[in-house]
Amino acid sequence: MSTSQRHGHSDTRKRLLEATEWLFIEGGYEAMSLRHITARAGANLAAVNYHFGSKEALMQEVLTQRLDRLNRERLQLLSVCEQENPGGLDATTVLGMLFVPAFRLSHGSTSGPAFMRLLGRVYSDPSPFIRSYLQEHYRPISGRFFEAFSRALPALPRHELGLRLHFALKALSGMLAGEDMQELIASISKGEAINDAELLARLISLISPILTAPFGNPEQTQLIDRVLQLDHHTAVTSEEPAATPPHEARDLLGDQQWIKEGRLAS
Amino acid sequence: MSTSQRHGHSDTRKRLLEATEWLFIEGGYEAMSLRHITARAGANLAAVNYHFGSKEALMQEVLTQRLDRLNRERLQLLSVCEQENPGGLDATTVLGMLFVPAFRLSHGSTSGPAFMRLLGRVYSDPSPFIRSYLQEHYRPISGRFFEAFSRALPALPRHELGLRLHFALKALSGMLAGEDMQELIASISKGEAINDAELLARLISLISPILTAPFGNPEQTQLIDRVLQLDHHTAVTSEEPAATPPHEARDLLGDQQWIKEGRLAS
DNA sequence: GTAGCGTTCATACGCGTGTTTCAATTCATG
DNA sequence: CATGAATTGAAACACGCGTATGAACGCTAC
């Protein structure tokens, strides 16, 4: 309204952004071609390069639009809570500060619950462009939250904390990106509509143990023994048939099939 | 030696398989082109279609060769342990049965530690072909392990178990696929070489809490309250500025930056 | 009304992909 | 040695991709 389209009667820009966001959510960056985008937006192929300059610039616009506010709120929330609790925060609370703004934006503004899926995609997309975008734009707040976690979990060496955070975030993003997520949420709260805060608490309570689990606990040595015991079982039974390519016997373990199993069985 | 190459003096097939495996590990299915593969294998472009018929058939050969034995051992290990412990197994043990054969094959046979990375890739690759391959070939054993977990965690509703398993596997695969993993392992055991069983136990002890965490615990309601309290903080401070695209202020939260932060800081 | 800017449109370029074709080569067998 | 099947080789195919070009259109302002 103000700067760019003084003349012209086009919401093409907006439609392109929306189409891009959708296709990115559905299939990730690589699977989202300019021809698909423009077709979905009802625009010409050249419109993208006219309005944004390139495919990457388009995507960057989408990401910036959606993620900047989210992370500003996260950072701000962390600062406020740190001021109010000089005694220090526990890890679960810090974790919550990563989640709460996301959920607020998710069902607060436009685009509704798709926002969570976008979050999942952007964190798990393998495209180099997406990766480098995240690394460039998110470094400072990353450090801030790392420090917050480190203060909340002083017993954890920094290496171990890094490992666990990596682990937790991978799990979370893989979770949110999947289209199964929606069904899962729906199936857990079978019948009555689940409270948003309750769902939030559920997710946090799943991730929290990854961070708060004791480090170097005695139980671990027991576990090692048990593992070695299991190892002997396998060693006895198979013993390396060396070069015998097994071309049959293809009844194996299948990825996310867990969910459907769980759903149809009860 | 036996059936296919009665004439001809070619290990081209084998070299193609090796090159494919490597490139898949390094960049996933989409990033791995036939021209890269054949160049790396020192073979002609047409060799792939001659020996395997298509790119997908090549990939399928690689996967079958590597994963069939793994999952046969997993299944077998589960069966044996179930027979020996009629009283039932706990979740951590069942989890171990998914890991132990993988680690055996990893440092047992050829291709060494790359096997773990291949495992990670194959579970997190977004390509539809890889996904459908897993779903087709792994369904039965998936059900078997789901039942085993279900028996080990009777307090968990099947929906919740499905959610948690999905969660745990996503985390694990995202973990193994990253090239960060190797550095992380190295950095954790700074100096002395870490025992394989110990590393195994570490990984299991990280995933285990996801499954064994109590369901519907009273702590969760506390968490809900805390979350809502946090929510008020954010609500007060930002309050929907509606249509104000923030084109600046790009200091945000960055993905796997945790690790490097953790590594360089101490 | 016409000049000029913003926008849309059809089209084409160069590139990389998986796949196909067909001639050249290799080599055990008759 | 010659036959013929197995294998390799170089080139081309059709397709989809991101990008670039230049003409046509719509509208506002002089």
Q: How far apart are the C-alpha atoms of A164 and A169, rounded to whole Å?
A: 9
Residue B76 falls inside a structural domain: yes
Give residue A156's domain range. Answer: 64-215
Lowest mean pLDDT among B46-50, B170-174, B260-264: B260-264
Whether pLDDT at B2 is above 50:
no
Q: What is the mean pLDDT of residues A118-130?
A: 90
Q: Per the structure block, which two tokens stand in for B257?
A: 């930056």
Q: Round to a whole number and report the distance in Å from the CA of B51 to the C1' of D11.
A: 20
Residue A174 distance to chain B (closest CA, Å): 6
B83 inside 8 A of chain A by CB: no
Q: Comparing B77 with A221, which gets the higher pLDDT?
A: B77
Q: How far apart are the C-alpha atoms of A177 and A28, rounded to whole Å?
A: 9
Which residues of chain A make contact with B68, given a CB cutoff of 8 A?
A: 246, 249-250, 252
pLDDT in the model for residue A3 = 39
Q: Per the structure block, which two tokens stand in for A230?
A: 């299991």
Supply the mean pLDDT for chain B. Answer: 79
Give the pLDDT band of residue A168 (cuts 50, 70, 90): confident
Whether pLDDT at A237 is above 60:
no
B151 inside 8 A of chain A by CB: no
**pTM confidence score:** 0.83
pLDDT in the model for residue A241 = 45
Domain CATH number, residue A187 = 1.10.357.10
Using a 7 Å cut-off to protein CB atoms, list the covered nucleotides of chain C: 4-12, 16-22, 26-29
Give the pLDDT band of residue B223 (cuts 50, 70, 90): low
Q: Comparing A74 with B201, which gets the higher pLDDT?
A: A74
Residue B132 falls inside a structural domain: yes
Q: What is the mean pLDDT of residues A238-261?
A: 42
Residue B6 falls inside a structural domain: no
Whether pLDDT at B58 is above 80:
yes
Lowest mean pLDDT among A179-193, B94-108, B198-212, B251-265: B251-265
Of the CA atoms within 13 Å of residue A68, those in its CB half-sphere come to 13
Give the pLDDT band of residue A159 (cuts 50, 70, 90): confident
Residue B166 falls inside a structural domain: yes
pLDDT in the model for residue A229 = 67
Whether pLDDT at B63 is above 90:
yes
Residues 185-214 of B with CB under 8 A from A: 187-188, 190, 195, 197-198, 200-202, 204-206, 209-210, 213
Residue B200 falls inside a structural domain: yes
Q: What is the mean pLDDT of residues A24-37?
A: 95
Q: What is the mean pLDDT of residues A72-92?
A: 89
Identify residue A58 by its one-letter amino acid code. L
B60: buried, middle or exposed (CB in 10 Å: 19+, 13-18, 0-12)? middle
Which residues of chain A make contact with B94, given a CB cutoff of 8 A?
A: none
Q: Comparing A203 with B45, which gets the higher pLDDT?
A: B45
Q: Comparing A23 with A136, which gets the higher pLDDT?
A: A23
Asked if residue A228 lies in contact with residue B198, where contact means CB atoms within 8 angstroms, the answer is no
Whether pLDDT at A105 is above 90:
no
Of the CA atoms within 13 Å of residue B144, those in its CB half-sphere come to 20
For an interface test with B, the pick among A84, A255, A266 (most B C-beta atoms closer than 10 Å) comes out as: A255
Q: What Å distances lie between residue B54 and A169, B10, B33, B61, B101, CA to CA?
A: 36, 19, 12, 11, 31
Cβ–Cβ below 8 Å for B204 and A195:
no
Q: Per the structure block, which two tokens stand in for A194?
A: 């689940």
Cβ–Cβ below 8 Å for A124 and B174:
yes
Which residues of chain A make contact with B164, given a CB cutoff of 8 A?
A: 206
CB nearest A93 (choices: B98, B226, B259): B226
pLDDT in the model for residue B55 = 98
**Closest nucleotide over all strands to A50 (CA to C1'):** C7
A114 inside 8 A of chain B by CB: no
Question: Exposure string (b/e) for A38-66, b if CB count within 10 Å is 16 or more?
Answer: bebbebeeebbeebbeebeebbbbbbbeb
Portion of chain A with pLDDT greater than 90, in percent = 35
Give the pLDDT band of residue B192 (cuts 50, 70, 90): low
Q: How far apart are the C-alpha atoms of A263 and A266, rounded to whole Å?
A: 6
Tell me which residue of A15, A12, A96 sits closest to B223, measured CA to CA: A96
Residue A116 falls inside a structural domain: yes
B65 inside 8 A of chain A by CB: yes
Supply the mean pLDDT for chain A. Answer: 79
Q: What is the mean pLDDT of residues A29-44?
A: 96
**Closest nucleotide over all strands to A6 (CA to C1'):** C6
Q: Give me the helices (H) in chain A, please.
A: 12-27, 34-41, 46-51, 55-84, 91-108, 114-124, 128-137, 139-152, 158-177, 180-188, 196-212, 219-238, 257-265
Tell me which residue of A185, A231, A140, A250 sits closest to B196, measured CA to CA: A231
Question: Which long-range contacts does A238-247 make (Cβ < 8 Å, 24+ apart)?
Answer: A238/B69, A238/B73, A238/B76, A240/B108, A240/B109, A245/B65, A246/B64, A246/B65, A246/B68, A246/B69, A246/B72, A247/B64
Q: Per the structure block, which two tokens stand in for A144?
A: 């801030």
Q: Comparing B2 with B69, which gets the higher pLDDT?
A: B69
Q: Per the structure block, which two tokens stand in for B3?
A: 């059936």
| Interval A169-195: pLDDT, tens | 888 887 777 666 666 666 655 555 556
A167 inside 8 A of chain B by CB: yes
Give the pLDDT band of residue B128 (cuts 50, 70, 90): very high
Q: Round to a whole number and report the distance in Å from the CA of B26 to the C1' of C21.
A: 32
Residue B101 distance to chain A (closest CA, Å): 7
Give the pLDDT band of residue B247 (cuts 50, 70, 90): very low
Cα R_g (chain B), whole angstroms: 23
pLDDT in the model for residue A38 = 97
Residue B15 falls inside a structural domain: no
Q: Round to a whole number and report the distance in Å from the CA of A147 to the C1' of D22.
A: 56
Of the CA atoms within 13 Å of residue A37, those in its CB half-sphere come to 33
Q: How far apart are the C-alpha atoms of A236 and B246, rounded to whole Å?
A: 63
List CB contacts of A153: < 8 A, sequence separation 6 or more: A91, A161, A211, A212
A76 inside 8 A of chain B by CB: yes
Residue A211 falls inside a structural domain: yes
Structural domain count of chain B: 1
CB nearest A123 (choices: B134, B160, B255): B255
For an interface test with B, the pick among A228, A234, A237, A248 (most B C-beta atoms closer than 10 Å) comes out as: A234
The residue of chain B nearest to residue A101, with distances taken between CA atoms, is B234
Lowest mean pLDDT among B76-80, B123-127, B169-173, B220-224: B220-224
φ, ψ (nearest 5 deg) of residue B214 = -60, 150
Give the pLDDT band of residue B17 (cuts 50, 70, 90): very high
List CB contacts of A155: < 8 A, sequence separation 6 or more: A214, A215
B101 inside 8 A of chain A by CB: yes
Q: Do you know the residue count of chain B? A: 266
Q: How far apart are the C-alpha atoms of A22 and B21, rounded to whole Å?
A: 33
> Footprint of strand D, using CB within 7 A?
A 7-9, 32-36, 45-46, 48-49, 54-56; B 4-8, 10, 12, 43-47, 50-51
Q: How far apart are the C-alpha atoms of B41 and B45, rounded to whole Å?
A: 10
Which residues of chain B make contact with A111, given a CB cutoff of 8 A?
A: none
The residue of chain A nearest to residue B250, with distances taken between CA atoms, is A137
Q: What is the mean pLDDT of residues A105-124?
A: 80
Whether pLDDT at B57 is above 50:
yes
Q: How far apart are the C-alpha atoms of A180 and B253, rounded to whole Å?
A: 25
Q: How far apart are the C-alpha atoms of A52 and A58, rounded to whole Å?
A: 6
Question: Exposure string (b/e) for B23-58, b if CB count within 10 Å is 16 or more?
Answer: bbbebbbbebebeebbebbebeeebbeebbeebeeb
Which residues of chain A make contact with B257, given a CB cutoff of 8 A?
A: 135, 138-139, 142-143
